[in-house]
């Protein structure tokens, strides 16, 4: 049933929110501490359990995935109700923080890549797999 | 005219679904025909959302963007904390733990660095621009992680709406640069194998930025990058309003 998926998602979200609130109280802040992240862990655990017991039905999947697929539109709606007029007065902070974060992260991708040694590139993996499978024509079709 | 605005206002949430849907269509068309797929439709939609919020704010003088317009109050519900958290939690369903384990230690290191380093940078920039309270510093730092972590953190620790809007704008700007810039730096940073794609996804975080940027670089790398990137938001939502917030508060002594 689709509602079981929606209900599972709702229960995980509520439990995560509850634990996040309790964690906030325990840590002495008036805030929800990591409720969303905790709820995500509950959902991952619930999914593992359901798969292991063969209970992951198509309807249940639909109920959760529908909401997951709505996440970008919801973020768009979230963006559309922000106080952008006030943020625009912040100006260059956005550009500096955003561009700086990307530049530093690009550099670290390169650094981690160099430090951890060479690995097969995507082209090499495909070439090897094509030889192993003995189907050379397969190469170009293996996009997805 | 009054009949139309009555039906729109009476079905606020339905109106919001229609309005956002139309905005997504327009964005998809802009992405396809004006940027030739280089910038993801979702990124364009978010930018348009922020632009509309700007004009909505100017028109109404309110603080909630287009949600202050009587016909579009449903946007406030659709994009509010309740449905937003609900949808973000739902994306965890797509995480495959078996695949994730293959990313191994290096993926975890990249995830950790990808959360902490942009955060520190964001906090420093925010401090340089005169923010002194722990809530604002943390929220803007979280925005430099991703445009989801920013508002989730801001809402959790009670930051002001302008600061939350700044954090979203920072995250969106980051996503856009990742999308546009990745193909140009791909060769330089060795982005040609699954492992570096996972490291890349973990460090960059923004799912739309990573999937858009990798798609423009090499389609085959997209799933690897998206895999670690999906963990990024969860990790950020977990540590930014908690450990990182406390760290900021302890350092500034607030």
Query: pLDDT tens-digit profile of B121-151?
Result: 999 999 999 899 999 999 999 999 988 889 8
pLDDT tens figures, B236-250: 888 888 889 999 999
Give B64's contacts in chain A (Cβ within 8 Å): 81-83
Contact A70 B87 (CB under 8 A): yes
- B43-48's contacts with Cβ under 8 Å and 24+ in sequence apart are B43/B172, B43/B175, B43/B176, B43/B179, B43/B208, B43/B209, B43/B212, B45/A72, B45/A73, B45/A76, B46/A75, B46/A76, B46/A79, B46/B147, B46/B168, B46/B172, B46/B175, B46/B208, B47/B172, B47/B176, B48/A76, B48/B23
Categorize the per-residue pLDDT at A135 as very low, low, confident or very high, splitting at 50, 70 and 90: low
Contact A64 B93 (CB under 8 A): yes
Check: CB of residue B234 under 8 Å from CB of residue B242.
no
Task: Report the gap between the CA of A25 and the closest CA in chain B (Å).
Answer: 12
Give B196's contacts in chain A (Cβ within 8 Å): 109, 112-113, 119
Categorize the per-residue pLDDT at B177 as very low, low, confident or very high, splitting at 50, 70 and 90: confident
Residue B186 DSSP class? T
Contact A65 B94 (CB under 8 A): yes
Residue B107 CA to residue B235 CA, distance in Å, equals 13
Categorize the per-residue pLDDT at B100 as very low, low, confident or very high, splitting at 50, 70 and 90: low
Task: Report the gap between the CA of B247 and the closest CA in chain A (Å).
Answer: 13
Which of A7-16, A81-90, A126-135: highest mean pLDDT? A7-16
Best CA proximity match to B56, nearest among B165, B167, B175: B165
B residues 84..123 contacting A (CB < 8 A): 84-95, 97, 106, 109-110, 113-114, 117-118, 121-122
pLDDT at A142: 44
Whether the per-residue pLDDT at B24 is higher than 60: the answer is yes
User: What value of ipTM does the predicted structure carry?
Assistant: 0.74
Asked if the C-beta of B239 comes within 8 angstroms of chain A's C-beta atoms, the answer is: yes
Higher pLDDT pick, A128 / B58: B58
Least confident of A30-34, B78-82, B240-244: A30-34
Contact B90 A65 (CB under 8 A): yes
pLDDT at A28: 63
To test the contact with chain A by mutation, choose from B41, B71, B90, B140 the residue with the greatest count of A C-beta atoms within 10 A, namely B90
Contact A81 B66 (CB under 8 A): yes
Mean pLDDT of B56-65: 86
Give B116's contacts in chain A (Cβ within 8 Å): none
pLDDT at A144: 42
Best CA proximity match to B41, nearest among B52, B49, B31: B31
Mean pLDDT of B77-83: 89
Task: Report the gap between the CA of B38 and the closest CA in chain A (Å).
Answer: 17
pLDDT tens figures, B153-169: 998 888 898 899 889 88
pLDDT at A26: 82
Mean pLDDT of B48-72: 88
């Amino acid at each position: 049933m689709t509602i079981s998926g929606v209900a599972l998602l709702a229960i995980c979200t509520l439990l995560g929110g509850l634990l996040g609130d309790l964690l906030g109280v325990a840590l002495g802040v008036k805030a929800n501490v990591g409720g969303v992240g905790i709820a995500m862990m509950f959902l991952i655990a619930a999914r593992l359990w359901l798969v292991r017991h063969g209970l992951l039905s198509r309807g249940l999947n639909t109920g959760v995935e529908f909401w997951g697929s709505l996440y970008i539109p919801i973020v768009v709606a979230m963006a559309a109700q922000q106080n952008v007029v006030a943020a625009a007065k912040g100006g260059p902070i956005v550009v500096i923080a955003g561009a700086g974060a990307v530049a530093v992260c690009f550099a670290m991708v390169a650094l981690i890549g160099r430090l951890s040694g060479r690995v097969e590139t995507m082209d090499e993996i495909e070439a090897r797999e094509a030889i192993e499978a003995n189907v050379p024509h397969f190469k170009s079709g293996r996009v997805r | 005219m009054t009949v139309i605005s009555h039906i729109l206002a009476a079905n606020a949430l339905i109106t919001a679904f229609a309005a956002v849907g139309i905005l997504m269509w327009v964005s998809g068309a802009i992405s396809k025909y004006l940027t030739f797929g280089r910038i993801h439709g979702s990124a364009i939609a978010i930018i348009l959302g922020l632009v509309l919020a700007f004009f909505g704010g100017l028109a109404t003088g309110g603080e909630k963007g287009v949600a202050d317009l009587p016909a579009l109050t449903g946007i406030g519900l659709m994009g509010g904390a309740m449905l937003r958290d609900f949808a973000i939690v739902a994306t965890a369903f797509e995480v495959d733990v078996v695949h994730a384990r293959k990313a191994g230690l290096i993926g975890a290191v990249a995830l950790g660095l990808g959360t902490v380093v942009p955060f520190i940078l964001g906090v420093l920039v925010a401090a340089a621009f005169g923010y002194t309270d722990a809530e604002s510093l943390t929220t803007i730092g979280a925005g430099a992680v991703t445009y989801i972590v920013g508002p989730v953190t801001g809402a959790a620790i009670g930051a002001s709406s302008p600061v939350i809007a700044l954090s979203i704008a920072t995250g969106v700007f980051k996503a856009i640069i990742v999308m546009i810039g990745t193909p140009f730096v791909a060769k330089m940073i060795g982005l040609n194998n699954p492992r570096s794609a996972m490291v890349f996804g973990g460090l960059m975080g923004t799912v739309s930025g990573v999937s858009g940027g990798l798609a423009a670089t090499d389609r085959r790398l997209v799933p690897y990058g998206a895999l670690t990137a999906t963990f990024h938001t969860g990790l950020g939502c977990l540590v930014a309003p908690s450990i990182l917030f406390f760290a900021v508060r302890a350092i500034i002594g607030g």
